[in-house]
Structure 1
Amino acid sequence: MKRLIQIMWQWVMHFWVPLAITVGMLSVAISFTIVLLVKQQSTVQIPNITIRTGAGIKYAEVGVLKRGEHLNILKRSHGWVQVRREDETTGWAPSWLLNRKTPVKYMGSLSEATVVLDPGHGGSDSGALSIDQKHFEKNYTLQLAQRVKTVLEKDYGTHVIMTRSTDHIVYLSKIPKIAEQKQADLFISFHFDSAPENNEASGYTAYYYNAGNGSKSLAQNINNVMKPAMPITNKGVEVGDFWVIHHNTVPAVLLENGYINSAKDFSYIRSAKYQKYIAKKVPMGLQNYLTQAAKSNQ
């Protein structure tokens, strides 16, 4: 009996253990293959996604994806994916739109864009102060940028990158590099101005530095949509030698959205209504700029 048990054990070890290991490894391989196949496929869940010849909004349009289309993903590059459609044609589309499940209210080139929002100051750098010295510029720039981010993402489907999302400092030398590293299409820095004396100045100003890379046109387009009903003086578009726009390689503007040490301006700066007004208008200006730029490139 003992001999029989030994023989059976040897048989199990010789045949069944290797077989079990093989089956286990095969199961893992099949599961891994299925996961890879799923990752390489996508079903379009929102309508009217433009596809282009390359990974970016500067490339020519080659078609429009419809809701329910099944795609094979071929390549990925900086947030864009190259896809093959059911008719075997190929093109590039933004991954954030392919992954989106809710329709975009204002579908357009801004939906395909990557936009960097820079809430000025932060952390140990408080920025300018209110008249009573109790309110810091850094807090209101973050509030405003977050409101703009919400509108861009929810209504336009834009891919938004924040230079900061909390109260911490981001050194000036690093800020322009974020737009370059992320291959952003646009850059907007939010600030609030301050005059040497309290209540000495008032108003909103859009600054640009590099006219040749589209920054001037971007500032003008944002300023144009601000004009009709701003509660504070619109001081227009000016050249400003600020580090974050001077050293930026993409179209970049810096918006001074009122004087924090002006009692009149600060009453608006701290109000949700004014912040929502800016948050509504900035995306409109960005969309107008991109539409204008696309026409000039045709």
Structure 2
Amino acid sequence: MKDLIQLLRQWLMKFWVPLTIVIVMLGTAISLTVVLLHKQQVTVQIPNLTLRKQKGVQSAPVSVLKKGEHLQILKKSEGWYQIRREDESTGWVAGWLLHRQKPLKTVTPLSETTIVLDPGHGGSDVGSLSTNNKYEKTYTLQLAKRVAKQLRQRGARVIMTRNTDKLVYLAKIPKVAEDNHADMFISFHFDSSPEPNSATGYTSYYYHKNNGSYDLASNINAELSLPLVNKGVEYGDFLVIRDNSVPAVLLENGYMNSKDDFKSIKSKSYQDKIAKAIPVGIQNYLSNQTTTAQ
């Protein structure tokens, strides 16, 4: 027995360095596995999230997730997570809603939508001028931020082409929607007429009619009850909507070089009316799309 113990001691003294390395590596591998497995787990923070058959708000719903459910993430794609529930059933859910902690009054298709907002112009591209030399770029950014706030309050995933006064090259703007696999794109502008104070009103433009752009423009325009002339929905050959494969609209929300229009454009109440109307228009568009699909 003493010989065995002595032999074991000699063996440990001879091989303690490689043995220590093996133990450390094994411990690291186990710890890393535990961390990775934990990262693939998520707990539902808000109730009534829709579980869909495939990724995307247009996919068929299969169930509703409850607050507190523990899920395993199988795959992430385009902002959506493929998950497995404790009963082994699987489906897709909007990833940004899984991580949302602030409660939603109601989870709607709008909550599951990715929307790109484009505040027109920016940086050295100032856009149109008011009669007192105010820049269009200032008010498009103000308005887009108000719209973004309203959409995010309803759960939507919002991506801005710019958040500050910077130049975004025109050709790159449509790519923001396509690269982020957005469900829609909205560009904000304020118009200008050849002669000051010679025009008034707001117009909703589309370019593509068969990809949802016309329907989106129509639904948004129908909700814009503003203190200016509603010039309706029009075809517009603008690059940011022409070169966009997702449903895309461009909103001209009044004339910068009209004194009366500009009073509205710069006012918080006017911008808030637009910001509150747009989510309703989008929700109506999504509801119509779902009805048509059925």
Give the TM-score, by structure 1 length.
0.92
SS in 2 for 1:33: helix
Give 3-state SS (helix, strand or coil) of 1:128's partner: coil
- Code of the residue aligned with 1:36 in structure 2: it is L
Rounded to whole Å, the distance in 2 between the matches of 1:88 and 1:27 is 30
Tell me how far 1:223 sits from its aligned partner: 0.9
Pairwise CA distance, 1:51? 1.2
Q: CA offsets per residue over residues 16-38 of structure 1, 9 Å max, x none?
A: 43343233222321221111111
Taking the TM superposition and a 5 Å limit, the aligned residue runs for 1:68-83 are 68-83=68-83
Aligned partner of residue 252 in structure 2, secondary structure: strand
1:107 aligns with 2:125: no
Q: Give the Cα–Cα distance (whole angstroms) in 2 for the partners of residues 33 and 179 of structure 1.
A: 36
Q: Which amino acid aligns with 2:155?
A: G
| CA distance in structure 2 between the aligned counterparts of 1:53 and 1:11, rounded to whole angstroms | 59
Q: What is residue 84 of structure 1 aligned with on the other side?
A: 84
Determine helix, strand or coil for the equivalent of 1:161. strand
Within the candidate set 234, 244, 248, 1:248 is matched to 244
- Deviation for aligned residue 1:11: 7.9
CA separation in 2, counterparts of 1:199 and 1:14? 94
> Structure 1, residues 144-191: CA drift from partner, whole Å, max 9, x if none?
11111111112x110111111111111111111221111110110000
Can you give the 5+ residue segments of structure 1 that lack an aligned partner in the other structure?
1-9
C-alpha distance in 1 between matches for 2:231 and 2:107: 31
Corresponding residue of 2:232: 236
SS of residue matched to 2:224: helix
Alignment partner, residue 137 of structure 1:
136
CA shift at 1:209, angstroms?
A: 1.1
1-structure distance, mates of 2:200, 2:73: 52
Provide the secondary structure at the position in 2 that maps to 1:223. Answer: helix
Aligned position for 1:48: 48
Deviates more, 1:163-172 or 1:24-33: 24-33
Aligned residues: CA RMSD: 1.4
- The size of the alignment, in residue pairs, is 285
Shift of 1:236: 1.1
Give the unaligned 5+ runs of structure 2: 1-9
Task: Work out the CA distance in 2 between the residues paired with 1:78 and 1:13.
Answer: 55
Report what 1:5 is aligned to.
Answer: none
1:28 alignment partner, SS class: helix
Cα distance between partner residues in 2 of 1:233 and 1:38: 56
User: Following TM superposition, by how much is the alpha carbon of 1:131 offset from its aligned partner in structure 2, in angstroms?
Assistant: 0.3
Aligned: 1:277 with 2:276: no
Q: TM-score, normalised by structure 2?
A: 0.93
What is the percent sequence identity of the aligned residues? 61
Matches of 2:260 and 2:37, distance apart in 1: 59
